[in-house]
Structure 1
Amino acid sequence: MSDPTTSILSSLSAALEGAVAKVRPSIVSVHSRRSRASGFVWKAGLVVTADEALAEEGDVAIKLADGTSRPATIAGRDHTTDVALLRFDSAGLTPVALTSRVPALGGLASVVAAENGNPTVALGAVSLVGERWRSLRGGDIDARIELDVTLRHRHEGGLALNASGEIFGMAVLGPRRVLVIPSATIERVAARLETHGRVARGYLGLGLQPVKLDDGVGAMVMSVDGAGPSAAAGIKQGDVIVAWNNERLTGVRSLLRSLGPDSIGSAVDVAARRGGEPVSFKLTIGERPER
């Protein structure tokens, strides 16, 4: 009589093997200056990888499982969502099919990445599932997904798969945990990078420093871009911003996080103090210049 446990494990193993085999033709290594990462073919001629793992300058190459390398160029990158897009000759490679479905908490998850072009796999579980959130850099991430899995730096940019083999995002290293950039975020950001080379962000033209006030917190204006929207509104160095659209400021970071793509062109009411006296401004958020 056969052991049912053995049968279940064999079936699970075969299912995982099949899921990995399906995505292997899409996985590559991304080599940039003193940096190694993983990536996947998003569309013909385009690879998505983790922006954080991509060098700021120098040549970029895509290394394949057969040991060959192909040159690549940066089509665009978005530091706030950790998505970078590369152009290269993807002949012989298969684009992935992403699912917008968010995985269930506690479900099995595997990360398929690459090491010098050779596919690698790590198995774990979905340890946290949450709502839409903003990254520390202000990026709009469609769902909070964390994995209980070991991930090396060179495996950042690998694909996150559920037990059915569906690709629900890209695995990256967050502070003390492995995060997943969901497929919905990848599709949205990569499409913008493909056509525009960047994702526009809101711009105030201010250098801000948090300050403690007797009745809360404020943001002191340390510098003003003379050609920026804040200067046009009349904000000056030394002003202390205390409220934004009639809501008390909770911190500089929260203010900057509100400057997403949808904020461009919107008018906001800014309450501040100048020399201890209240002042107010009507400010139209601009578009952050390319750096």
Structure 2
Amino acid sequence: MTDPTTLASLSSALADTVARAAPAIVSVHSHRSRASGFVWKPGLVITADEALADEGEIEIQFADGSRKQATIAGRDHTTDIALLRVDTDVAPVKLSASVPALGSLAVVVAADRGAATARLGIVSLSGPAWRSLRGGDIDARIELDVRRHSQQGGLALDASGEPFGMAVLGPRRVLTIPAATIERVAAQLETSGRIARGYLGLGLQPVRLDDGIGAMVMNVDKNGPSAAAGIRQGDVIIAVNDERLSGVRALLRTLGPQSVGRVVDVTVRRGGEPQHFRVTIGERPET
């Protein structure tokens, strides 16, 4: 039989963990969207980009019930991180770079109209770095067996109360954007308001070939890097750096922040004959 004092101690420890984190947790209201967020640095709030409306005013509601208008400092849809500026003196959260072990306890502290909420679960997957479907580099794969509710943008804590990431809603489970990713991306958003992405300057359409898959060039940015290299509309890309193309999406996912400035060898078929072009990947312009 479980010792009642053990359960009471666990309950008290979890309550203390939530209480310590709660003051830095906020509600984020934008248009018809509601999410949670947390104070990352003085005057800066992190929230989930997917839960943030594309237009309209943004209001932050704090734990003490006060409300203030916020502005977007930057957002990155590939890692689901948005950075907001707001006038506040709330003490920020100190994120931990540690990745929780598989099977360990986790608490997600979120907010509902300013009031803190908490949900307890376990780490159901703790794995290596991965790339999101939108092409974002995530430093660790952390999934939580937590009831899906309104955790979007909430703070994920381990059993010792260390915040290890931001909870977001995946297709079937609660995922965590780890602290290492948040620190890396948010620092760039704070500085420049955006994350640099690679740019070929091509509009591509997948085509099936007799010997595999290609990407037909449907349009070319005349001021882009591919035009400068000599690639034309109608060319069919079949390989990059001598690796056969596996699909247009796979190609686009390689155009992350680290790709800018890299020179790649692009093999195309033009009139049925292979040709090679050296393309210096540019930086995607703001749209």
Shorter-normalised TM-score: what interval?
Answer: over 0.9
Q: What amino acid is aligned across from residue 206 of structure 2 in structure 1?
A: P
Q: Give the equivalent residue in structure 1 for 2:133.
A: 136
Q: What letter matches 2:235 in structure 1?
A: D
> Equivalent residues in 2 for 1:144-159 (5 A)?
144-152=141-149, 154-159=150-155
Secondary structure of the corresponding residue to residue 254 of structure 1: helix
Deviation at 1:68, TM superposition (A): 2.3
Which residue number in structure 1 is paired with residue 233 of structure 2? 237
Moved more, 40-49 or 134-143: 134-143
Normalising by structure 2, what TM-score? 0.97
Separation in structure 2 between the aligned mates of residue 105 and residue 213 of structure 1, nearest angstrom: 43
- SS of the aligned residue for 1:138 comes to coil
Question: 1:100-155: CA deviations, max 9, x gaps?
Answer: 10010111111100000110011111111111111111111101111111232x43
Give per-residue Cα distances to partners, 1:62-97, cap 9 Å, x unaligned: 012333210100000011111000000122x22001
Matched, 1:18 2:16: yes
Equivalent in the alignment of 1:99: 96
Q: Give the deviation of 1:41 after TM superposition.
A: 0.1
CA distance in 2, matches of 1:189, 1:176: 25
Asked if 1 retains the 8 angstrom alpha-carbon contact of 2:201 and 2:225, the reply is yes
Rounded to whole Å, the distance in 2 between the matches of 1:138 and 1:157 is 20
Task: Give the C-alpha shift of residue 31 in structure 1.
Answer: 0.6
Alignment of 1:128-277 (within 5 A): 128-152=125-149, 154-277=150-273
Return the alpha-carbon distance in structure 2 between the equivalents of residues 222 and 176 of structure 1. 35
Query: Residue 4 of structure 1: CA displacement?
Result: 4.5
Aligned equivalent of 2:71, options 70, 73, 96: 73
Which residue matches 1:50? 48
2:4 corresponds to 1:6: yes
Name the aligned partner's letter for residue 239 of structure 1: D
**Residue 214 of structure 1, CA deviation:** 1.5
Query: In the alignment, residue 3 of structure 2 is paired with which amino acid?
Result: T
Give me the whole-angstrom Cα distance separating, in 1, the residues matched to 2:63 and 2:269. Answer: 60
- Take 1:9 and 1:252, find their aligned partners in 2: how far apart are those partners? 53
Q: Which runs of 5+ in 1 are unaligned?
A: none
Structure 2: how far apart are the matches of 1:9 and 1:243? 60
What residue in structure 2 maps to residue 125 of structure 1? 122
Is the CA contact (8 Å cut-off) linking 1:47 and 1:85 kept in structure 2? Answer: yes
Give the Cα–Cα distance (whole angstroms) in 2 for the partners of residues 231 and 97 of structure 1: 46
- 3-state SS of paired residue (1:237): coil
Question: Percent identity, aligned pairs only?
Answer: 70
Displacement, 1:260?
0.9
Q: Is the 8 A contact 1:41 1:90 kept in 2?
A: no
Match of 1:85 in 2: 83
* Cα RMSD, aligned residues only: 1.1
The answer for the alignment partner of 1:59 in structure 2 is: 57
CA displacement at 1:278 relative to structure 2: 0.9
Quick check: 2:110–2:116 contact (8 Å CA) kept in 1? Answer: yes
Q: TM-score, normalised by structure 1?
A: 0.96
